[in-house]
Amino acid sequence: GQNIDQPTEMTATEGAIVQINCTYQTSGFNGLFWYQQHAGEAPTFLSYNVLDGLEEKGRFSSFLSRSKGYSYLLLKELQMKDSASYLCAYKVSGGYNKLIFGAGTRLAVHP
Amino acid sequence: KAGVTQTPRYLIKTRGQQVTLSCSPISGHRSVSWYQQTPGQGLQFLFEYFSETQRNKGNFPGRFSGRQFSNSRSEMNVSTLELGDSALYLCASSEDRRNYEQYFGPGTRLTVT
């Protein structure tokens, strides 16, 4: 089957670091995505991991462990504008552009 | 380059009607995927079109269909609308099927009454 889980909500303080976890179970896997979605807007691409390890891109980093079916998104130096939903999704093996999304994690950043 | 555009942005229909939504991908992008987003189910894959052919399909009933034109623009159609079809319908485009980055449009908010 296809299953992907992430926490529903998280809160953090401006300037802090937050880690959003994502676990998945699938018989076919071809990469893990993270998207950011502000309320009422379209999702925007943050990162893509296909190999194990950490990918860093400015204040955002994403980690993948394929053997554990686990990924996380790390946000550093949090800003108020980082308040949004963060969606993890995996690409189905052989499915090209078919993505299976988690329900999303709503992050609230407080002053 | 202009981003992905979707029309209309908002739509209100009644049960039993049918609806057609349109998506224009980024210029040069040939793959278009459609997703349904609801508060309860999150983002769910509907289908993907490439070179005017449906390449992938999600677990939705046959009332949901789509097509792609030679200029890569895509439409999706929902017939015999049900209340549960109320959702944000998003399309995403990418250059080709091997390119991993998909760009999402602003979505069409469909309300079925």
SS (H, E, C) chain A: CCEEECCCEEEEECCCCEEEEEEEECCCCCCEEEEEECCCCCCEEEEEECCCEEEEECCEEEEEECCCCEEEEEECCCCHHHCEEEEEEEECCCCCCCEEECCCEEEEEEC
- The minimum CA-CA distance between B31 and chain A, rounded to whole Å, is 8
Task: Provide, rounded to the nearest whole percent, the portion of chain A with pLDDT above 90.
Answer: 77
In chain B, which among 1-30 make CB contacts under 8 A with chain A? 4
Q: Does B86 touch chain A (CB under 8 A)?
A: no
- Chain A residue with minimal CA distance to B3? A42
Interchain pair B33, A100: CB under 8 A? no
Residue A1 predicted with pLDDT over 80: no
Which residues in chain B are contacts of A35 at CB distance < 8 A? 104
Of A50, A97, A100, the CB nearest to B102: A97
R_g over Cα of chain A: 13
Q: What pLDDT does B40 receive?
A: 81
Interchain pair B106, A87: CB under 8 A? no
Q: Which carries the bigger pLDDT value, residue A107 or residue B40?
A: A107
Q: What pLDDT does B99 receive?
A: 63
Query: Can you tell me the distance from the alpha carbon of B76 to that of B24, in angstroms, rounded to the nearest whole number?
Result: 12
Chain A residues within 8 Å of chain B (Cβ atoms)? 31, 33, 35, 41-45, 48, 50, 87, 89, 91-92, 95-104
Interchain pair B105, A42: CB under 8 A? yes
Residue A71 predicted with pLDDT over 90: yes
Tens digit of each residue's pLDDT (9 = 90 or more) over B8-23: 999 999 999 999 999 9
Query: Can you tell me the distance from the alpha carbon of A74 to that of A91, in angstroms, rounded to the nearest whole number?
Result: 20
**Which residues sit opposite A25 in a β-bridge?**
A3
- CA-nearest of A68, A62, A60, A7 to A32 is A62
Q: Which carries the bigger pLDDT value, residue B16 or residue A95?
A: B16
> B85 phi and psi, to 5 degrees?
-80, -5
> A69 phi and psi, to 5 degrees?
60, 50
Tens digit of each residue's pLDDT (9 = 90 or more) over A9-62: 999 999 999 999 999 998 778 889 999 999 988 999 999 999 999 999 999 999
